[in-house]
Structure 1
Amino acid sequence: MRGPESCPREGRPLSNRIKLAAHRCGEWKGRTMAASLSTMALATAAKPRLLAPQILQIQSARSTTLSLRSDQMFTAISIPSRRPSLPPVRSAGSPPHQEYETFPRSLKSRLAAGETLYGLFLLSASPTLAEIAGLAGYDYVVVDMEHGPGGISDALPCLRALAAARTPAVLRLPEPSAVWAKKALDIGPQGIMFPMVDSPAAAAHAVSCCRFPPRGVRGSAHTVVRASAYGLDDGYLARCEEELLVMCQVESVDAASEIEAIAAVEGVDVVQMGPLDLSGSMGYLWDPGNKKVRQVLRELERRVLGLKKRQSGANAAAEGGSASLGGPYLGGFAMPHDPPEELKARGYHMVAGAVDVGLFRQAAAEDVRRFRRAEAEIGEEGHEDEKPRDESYWSE
């Protein structure tokens, strides 16, 4: 009887009966890759049987390696690259080992690096306008479910459009609610904005809504929701809370009186000013540019920026870190009397310059005015002795 390393027919090692030739067979997504088996001869007995496992490797010019065992079907092809376009092919039942990176840099990392981010509020819940905003170059887009007509099912297509344009999305909730926060976080925004946060307790509740137990009250369905790539992203739980930008809006007289306590709540990343609601709370709903409203806003800005400076300095001294780290960032919304460049000059870290429907309203109104103005100018250039156009036509 021949040994286990021999081929039943020829009595020679099985490895000597296998000839492999690899060659380049085209391009896939612009990269030359792949190898094909040009010849593969296996000598077998009347009842085919591979007696000894053999490891076969095929290597292309790009160092792409395919490995398979001769005593089993291969179950995976792994094609390493710097930026893979597709997740690796896996056989059914194999455990996932993949982390998904949607954006090169998160909003929190850019803020920590000292950048001032410029954004847009999307009130229309239109995926088309969301995509245009992303392609136009905004650093972030706030999908507004507080004043906009849309809910979660309307926000989801907007997040997909923004993801396609590589633009981070922030979801503004209708109210500071654990139910709304859970549904919003499950569809995977980079940030979440809570309106009407009037006290430190409300701020702490907002943070709790964004954290899983035991640190918070967020409900868990992380194995199937979009935020975790429907369960394919193994690293989601390890980083989701660290990467999420939690924004609390200060937009009332009560909130203004406790601004520093709200800003000091652990987990509050951005204190977002709400100039319109603040003006209404102060009795100047029809006059948001009132001098008294502006004075209150300047004082609130000063206190938030002062707190961040103190906390950043303390953290840098204690840990030897960057002075830009620590403390809440300041976010705001530009107004006609307070343009975005002035907010940036005063130290705001996140500046929303416009609303999508406002931009369209302005452009549409200007377009109509331009036409009416041109129409009037054309009429003024006519001569008195000229007949009206319709009369001239019928007289011919």
Structure 2
Amino acid sequence: MENMNNGSIITTKTLKFRVQNGEVLYGVSLLSFSPTVAEILGYVGYDFVLIDMEHGPGGISDALPCIHALAATQTPAIFRVPENSPVWVRKAIDLGAQGIIFPMIDDPESATKAVSYCRYPPAGVRVAGSIARASRYGLDPNYPDQSDKELLIICQIESEAGVKNVKDIASVDGVDMIMVGPLDLSASIGCLTNPKNERVKKMIDEVEKTVLGLEGKDGVGPFLGRFGAAGDGREQYQNRGYRLIRVNVDVILFKNACLEDIKKFKSAK
């Protein structure tokens, strides 16, 4: 819910607010960069849509109509940037992202840089953009302070090095969440097609134990997020302390629906 106060937007149900208040949020990735698909995903009731600029074909200009469509359904967007870069981050935040996922964070130095790209000076190096879409094109005078407080900063652990350094990464001031990627972890140890490998499970267990051990009692994190597999249920993640879960991808959902449609038609007598 949002309301106006002397031109300032007071937001009480941002993604970060909901995570900090114990909700378990379920979302989907948008790989097609289709505004129509984005709008459908928003209307059906996902808690968030992850606009994937790391693996998807689109950039900032392609993401803009998608975030317009999501805004029409009051569905928040998380952006996964293609690299830990101040330019990508600045553009994504200015567009109106409520969360940023940084891929391939292997050490606390990378995490510190990621946070700095999201913060205005003196806390960071983000360039001021007073007329950005996220500030209601300058209509919200309190936007800079709100942005620093409300943006969900997520570091993705995808390698053995990241697992080894996860305590130091999660302890970096400003890191709100550690996102676990089983498929990438499996690739990092040479078993790309087997994310349920025992070594991968042990690495994930280590990440979970470490992050949950750091989580503050006052609801400020760091929290756990997870990329899951199709068919996974809410309970298994909720019971393990995850607050934000992404299982499906728009193009995979569409592909599976098409395959099922063909199967039904061709098998009908």
TM-score bracket, normalised by the shorter chain, equals over 0.9
What letter corresponds to residue 87 of structure 2 in structure 1?
A: V
What letter corresponds to residue 332 of structure 1 in structure 2?
A: R
What's 2:39 paired with? 131
CA distance in 2, matches of 1:217, 1:130: 31
Confirm or deny: 8 A CA contact 1:330 1:350 kept in the other structure.
yes
Residue of structure 1 aligned with 2:199, choices 272, 292, 305: 292
Q: How do 1:73-222 and structure 2 match up within 5 A? A: 97-100=6-9, 104-222=12-130
CA distance in 2, matches of 1:332, 1:307: 17
Residue 182 of structure 2 is aligned to residue 282 of structure 1: no
CA distance in 2, matches of 1:231, 1:177: 25
TM-score normalised according to structure 2 size = 0.94
Higher Rg of the two aligned structures: 1
Alpha-carbon distance change, 263 to 213 in structure 1, aligned in 2, over 3 angstroms: same
User: Tell me, what secondary structure is at the counterpart of 2:155?
Assistant: strand
Q: Which has the higher helix share?
A: 2
CA distance in 2, matches of 1:340, 1:357: 21
Deviations 1:268-316 (A, max 9, x none): 00101111111100111121122221222122112111111xxx2xxxx
TM-score normalised according to structure 1 size = 0.65
Deviations 1:119-177 (A, max 9, x none): 11111111111111111111111111000011001111111111110111111101010
Deviations 1:75-133 (A, max 9, x none): xxxxxxx968xx9xxxxxxxxx41235x6511111112111111111111111111111
Q: How do 1:318-357 and structure 2 match up within 5 A? A: 323-336=217-230, 338-357=232-251
Alpha-carbon distance change, 146 to 340 in structure 1, aligned in 2, over 3 angstroms: farther
> Structure 2: 5+ residue runs without aligned partners?
none
Q: How do 1:34-73 and structure 2 match up within 5 A? A: none
What's 1:41 paired with? none
> Structure 1: 5+ residue runs without aligned partners?
1-81, 88-96, 313-322, 379-396
The alpha-carbon deviation at position 369 of structure 1 amounts to 0.9
CA distance in 2, matches of 1:336, 1:140: 17
Confirm or deny: 8 A CA contact 1:198 1:250 kept in the other structure.
yes
What letter corresponds to residue 272 of structure 1 in structure 2?
A: M
User: Tell me, what secondary structure is at the counterpart of 1:100?
Assistant: strand
Confirm or deny: 8 A CA contact 1:344 1:351 kept in the other structure.
no
Confirm or deny: 8 A CA contact 2:158 2:181 kept in the other structure.
yes
CA distance in 2, matches of 1:104, 1:242: 12
Residue 179 of structure 2 is aligned to residue 272 of structure 1: yes
CA distance in 1, matches of 2:146, 2:197: 43
The ranges of structure 1 where at least 4 consecutive aligned residues each deviate by more than 2 angstroms after the TM superposition are 336-341
What's 2:147 paired with? 240
What's 1:373 paired with? 267
Q: How do 1:382-393 and structure 2 match up within 5 A? A: none
What letter corresponds to residue 170 of structure 2 in structure 1?
A: A
CA distance in 2, matches of 1:143, 1:113: 24
Confirm or deny: 8 A CA contact 2:163 2:206 kept in the other structure.
no
The alpha-carbon deviation at position 195 of structure 1 amounts to 0.6
What's 1:39 paired with? none
Residue 204 of structure 2 is aligned to residue 301 of structure 1: no
The alpha-carbon deviation at position 339 of structure 1 amounts to 4.3
Confirm or deny: 8 A CA contact 1:113 1:324 kept in the other structure.
no
CA distance in 2, matches of 1:327, 1:166: 25
